[in-house]
Amino acid sequence: MTNGWNGITFDDPSTGHPMLPRVTQVMQHIYSTIHPERPTPSTVDRWYSLSLSYQVENSGHEPSIVILNLREGVRNTHFMINLNTMNVQDKFHEHRFPAPQEILSVLRELREYVRGTIRAKWEAEEARKRELARRRELAREEQRNRVQAFYCCLFDKGLINKDGVKNLSGDSLHCPVCSARQTSCNMCKLISCSNIDCEVSSAIPIAQCFNHHDMKFCASCLEHSGSPPHLGKCPICAIWFCSKELEWCIGRPVYSGTGPPTRLHPARPLSCRSNTCVENSQENRKSGRRCSNYGCWSRDGGTRTCPDCVTQDNLSCPCGQYWSCGGCKPHVSSILGVLTCPGCHQRFCRSCSYIGACDRCDKEGLCDDCMEDKENEGVEHAISRCRSCGGFLCEKCGGKDEKSCFKCNKRVCKICELEEDDSTLDVVCAGCIELIESESEVSDCEPFDSWYGS
């Protein structure tokens, strides 16, 4: 009984197959002997295509039959040479004859090549099977050792007696206390019981993700699996989830001296992503916030800042677009400081529209609320906005060397003046530029004296 057909095709001389010269020699000799009047093929190509076809015995390491096919065209086999019997069959004329003596040694060499190919594949497969069996046996032995360690741990905890340790099978996959299936940590392979109601699972805790049951880790491996760890327990619903399914705070870094910083606390889960737990954590003021500073420690891995890690100098800008946890300010910040209103002393982010600062000397002006408060009339806060460029200038910086628009004779601030590459060129305000570009009605362009806020 034999297996299916296998083949080695010779139709491209560029392949450099080691047997190509031999099959070409056989082809040329057959054609010159049978058809001496025809030109002898010089090599194999798409017209003269050769192949070795063979079947393998059930033993897997010997050929049961080897055939050399000499084809003309795509599918037309002209000669079939049986390398077992050394007979040639002319398929075009249904004629059989013994292979010429001159090529018998070459045909035997081709047969031995096929035999060697089969044996090499068989030996490689046998080596693969031996290696697989070796690895399986090692895995079984490791599993037996882990099971025995599991039994010894249960004995130490008083859950089974000494005789139980000796009599229990090392190949068992069940808990010796409740007979439920064993479970194990993905990292260290520590064994416990899968039944959460069994006292074994409490004695040897292994956490499992609620949504991904193949994610299982013991307490020791979770502690050393990184920050945040692979799993975490939601403090609201007390259910274990994968790290990405939880909101985390990794702990504000605490710097002391020149050494690396420590963390205020280990990575802690704030809540899972269910609406109920998120709302609960917000109501109890235990939810984390996302610091607006892109370089903040809390944005590493998309984590948040828990209430314990928020410092007293945190900034919540009235504009509602910016909040800084404060703990990252001494080290990295996405804003160059903050603006403090000289009237109410409230702090604002740099991009806040409620307050302005001089673009040249950085002097703060009053916020919008203080601008409307008559009690602040005596506070120095003269910050004005140019209606031409939109920039902020204090009276001192804006009053130096003012220039006027040559079209409407209205004053232009120092910022607009500095934008000119050549100080000898005429200055044009924004309103007149629009008029020139659109040739439409000139829009109002307020003079410097009537800038917003002055």
**Greatest extent of the chain over all pairs of C-alpha atoms, in Å:** 123
Q: Where does a domain end: 99, 130, 161?
A: 130
| Range with lowest mean pLDDT among 172-186, 282-296, 318-332 | 318-332
Q: What are the structure tokens assigned to 282, written together?
A: 């917000």
Question: Dihedral of CA 8/10/13/18: which sign?
Answer: positive
Q: Is residue 322 part of a domain?
A: no
pLDDT class of 451 with cuts at 50, 70, 90: very low
pLDDT of amino acid 387: 58
Q: What is the pLDDT of residues 382-410, one digit of tens each?
A: 666 665 666 777 777 765 455 666 667 66
| Range with lowest mean pLDDT among 13-27, 135-149, 332-346, 384-398 | 384-398
Give the DSSP letter string of 99-150: PPGGGHHHHHHHHHHHHHHHHHHHHHHHHHHHHHHHHHHHHHHHHHHHHHHH
Q: What is the pLDDT of residues 408-432, one digit of tens each?
A: 766 666 666 545 445 555 666 666 7
| Range with lowest mean pLDDT among 63-72, 87-96, 399-408, 442-451 | 442-451
Q: Which is higher by pLDDT, 52 or 162? A: 52
pLDDT of amino acid 380: 57
The overall average pLDDT reported for the chain is 83
Distance CA 57, CA 114 (A): 13
pLDDT of amino acid 365: 82
pLDDT of amino acid 376: 63
Q: Is residue 92 part of a domain?
A: yes
pLDDT of amino acid 415: 61
Give the DSSP letter string of 401-430: S-EEBTTT--EE-HHHHHT-S-TTSPB--H
* Interval 86-97 mean pLDDT: 92
| Range with lowest mean pLDDT among 65-69, 182-186, 326-330 | 326-330
pLDDT class of 329 with cuts at 50, 70, 90: low
pLDDT of amino acid 442: 42
Give the SS3 label for residue 279: helix
Distance CA 26, CA 99 (A): 10
pLDDT of amino acid 410: 61
Q: Is residue 144 part of a domain?
A: no
Q: Where does a domain end: 110, 130, 150?
A: 130
pLDDT class of 36 with cuts at 50, 70, 90: confident
**Domain residue limits at 116:** 2-130
Question: Dihedral of CA 29/35/41/45: which sign?
Answer: negative
pLDDT of amino acid 398: 65
Q: Is residue 274 part of a domain?
A: no
- What share of the chain in percent tops pLDDT 70? 81
Q: Where does a domain end: 90, 106, 130?
A: 130
pLDDT of amino acid 1: 45
Highest averaged pLDDT of the listed ranges 22-26, 281-285, 371-375: 22-26
Which residues are CB-neighbours of 25 under 8 A, at least 6 positions away? 103, 106
Which alpha helices (H) appear in 322-429, and where do they start and end?
368-371, 395-398, 414-418
Q: Is residue 84 part of a domain?
A: yes
pLDDT of amino acid 372: 77
Number of domains in the chain: 2
Q: Is residue 51 part of a domain?
A: yes
Give the SS3 label for residue 267: coil
Q: Is the pLDDT of residue 436 over 80?
A: no
Q: What is the pLDDT of residues 282-313, one digit of tens each?
A: 888 888 888 888 888 888 777 899 999 998 88
pLDDT of amino acid 447: 42
Give the SS3 label for residue 306: coil
Q: Is the pLDDT of residue 110 over 90?
A: yes
Q: Is residue 315 part of a domain?
A: no
Q: Which is higher by pLDDT, 329 or 173? A: 173
pLDDT of amino acid 444: 46
Q: Is the pLDDT of residue 338 over 60?
A: yes
Q: Model's pTM, two decimal places?
A: 0.62
Q: Is residue 332 part of a domain?
A: no
pLDDT class of 104 with cuts at 50, 70, 90: very high
pLDDT of amino acid 363: 81
- What share of the chain in percent tops pLDDT 90? 44
pLDDT of amino acid 445: 43
Q: Is the pLDDT of residue 163 over 60?
A: yes
